[in-house]
Amino acid sequence: MEVSMGNSDEPAKYDPDKKTSSMQQQQMLDNKDIEKIQDVKGVKNVSPVRSAAIDYIEGTNGEKYVFSATMTMDDMNIDLETGKKVSQTSNDYEINLAPEYVKSLGFKSSEDIIGKTVKLGASSSLEGKQEVVEAKIVGVRNTSLIQGGMSLMNSALIDKLASINEQGLPDNLKNQYGMAIAEADKDSSKEEINAIKERLSDAGFSSSTVEDEIGMIRNVINAITGVLTMFGAIALLAASFGIINTLYMSVQERTREIGLMKAMGLSSGKVFMIFSFEAALIGFLGSVLGILGAMGVGALVNQVAADSFLKELTGFTLIQFSAPYSAVIILVIMLIAFLAGTLPARRAAKLDPIESLRYE
């Protein structure tokens, strides 16, 4: 769970006259806050994430761009287009770069930038003195739903940049963090997690979990599903008229056959049931084929999503199918098809056998 107090397609060019500190735009956590979070009932461990304000990033072409990055955790799944994840145990300064910076910094491709060095400008928050730090690009990220494909730094680099930001500051303003990762017991229930979040809120901290982020994604998916359901309902209405037309034509073409069946003693009720059954069968076959097709498309979409923008969400399935829900859909469509077939079935049941046998 992430705890804190209280990005475009192309990077913006750096303007030294408009330089701002991202650390001054948000309320930071200090060591006392980390201790408070650790003391919250249900919190097992707290890992503070240090923040650093970066003025710009500069590549081989000498152009400077506004730049921001965050630190990644060792156990976080990172979706990379190319290269490797930054190492938290390395003393080298490493970056997983956001894809929109590759060409802006003067590199031909994501593969071309791997192993190359870029310059990062950082300033003292108090004195304004700017220093340049060189860092190696070890990977290029894919854009994702989580963190939007933001650039990532290893702890060695973020510590160096933060130390530049903190030059001249009193000790009580040093070692501040943008957020902290609070871990609960892995067996904690959803109710227990919510209780921990409430305790953190009471202590003055805002918090969110991966489930919260997934919930936001699901809300978007549900909204899209609602729109698609409306289109599906319209398509179902159009299909019901198609069933009516098909069965009317069937009655018309089988008039002599119906007359023969009634002449041989088949009751009007049974004739009605024959055509009603045909309508329900059309609905059954159509719904089963539709669901099987949707499952195939859904499996393909899930695979593409899992290999790209949802790679960080291990175990998350974008499109899910429920057997009971699918069975209900089949039954509902069969019912609609049955109701659509009642008019043609009634017409078939009312046919006079003698007139039907004379029909040409």
Instruction: Name the nearest CA neighbour of 176 among 162, 155, 189.
Output: 162
**Interior angle at CA 292, CA 289 and CA 296, nearest 5:** 135
Sign of torsion, CA 38 41 45 50?
Answer: negative
Output phi, psi for 344, to 5 deg: -60, -35
Q: Which two tokens stand for residue 292?
A: 């099987």
Write down the H helix ranges in the chain: 31-39, 110-113, 155-165, 190-202, 210-253, 255-263, 268-307, 323-340, 342-350, 353-358
pLDDT at 223 over 90: no
- Across the chain, mean pLDDT equals 81
Whether residues 139 and 55 fall in one domain = yes
Q: Which two tokens stand for residue 28?
A: 């930071």
Confidence bin at 115 (pLDDT 50/70/90): very high
Three-state DSSP class for residue 314: coil
* Residues written for the chain: 360
- Structural element, H or E, at residue 271: helix 268-307
Whether residues 123 and 194 fall in one domain = yes
Whether residues 229 and 203 fall in one domain = no
State the average pLDDT over residues 184-212. Answer: 84
Whether residues 233 and 342 fall in one domain = yes
Whether residues 338 and 227 fall in one domain = yes
Output phi, psi for 136, to 5 deg: -100, 135
Q: What share of the chain is helix, strand, coil (3-state, %, to 5)?
A: 50, 20, 35
**Among 152, 179, 208, which residue terminates a domain?**
208
User: Are 272 and 258 spatial neighbours (Cβ–Cβ below 8 Å)?
Assistant: no
pLDDT at 36 over 60: yes
Q: Cα–Cα distance between 55 and 19 in angstroms, integer?
A: 7
The tally of CA atoms less than 13 A away on the side-chain side of residue 226 is: 6
Q: Note down the domain range covering 232.
A: 215-358
Whether residues 203 and 339 fall in one domain = no
Whether residues 230 and 145 fall in one domain = no
Instruction: Name the nearest CA neighbour of 328 among 294, 296, 291.
Output: 291
pLDDT at 77 over 80: no
Query: Which amino acid appears at position 236 of this protein?
Result: L
Whether residues 222 and 309 fall in one domain = yes
pLDDT for 268: 83
- pTM here is 0.54
Three-state DSSP class for residue 240: helix
Q: Which two tokens stand for residue 11?
A: 């990077």
Whether residues 221 and 316 fall in one domain = yes
**Among 174, 208, 242, which residue terminates a domain?**
208
User: Are 178 and 26 spatial neighbours (Cβ–Cβ below 8 Å)?
Assistant: yes
Confidence bin at 23 (pLDDT 50/70/90): very low
User: Which single residue is written with the structure tokens 């998916």?
Assistant: 221
pLDDT for 121: 94
pLDDT for 340: 80
pLDDT at 112 over 60: yes
Whether residues 113 and 96 fall in one domain = yes
Q: Helix 255-263 and helix 210-253: axis angle, to 10°?
A: 70
Q: Could you give the percent of the chain with pLDDT greater than 70?
A: 88
Q: Cα–Cα distance between 80 and 71 in angstroms, integer?
A: 15
Whether residues 226 and 111 fall in one domain = no
**Residue-by-residue DSSP string for 200-218:** HHHTTEEEE-HHHHHHHHH
Whether residues 247 and 341 fall in one domain = yes
**Among 158, 191, 208, which residue terminates a domain?**
208
Total of domains in the chain:
2
Instruction: Name the nearest CA neighbour of 4 among 212, 311, 219.
Output: 212
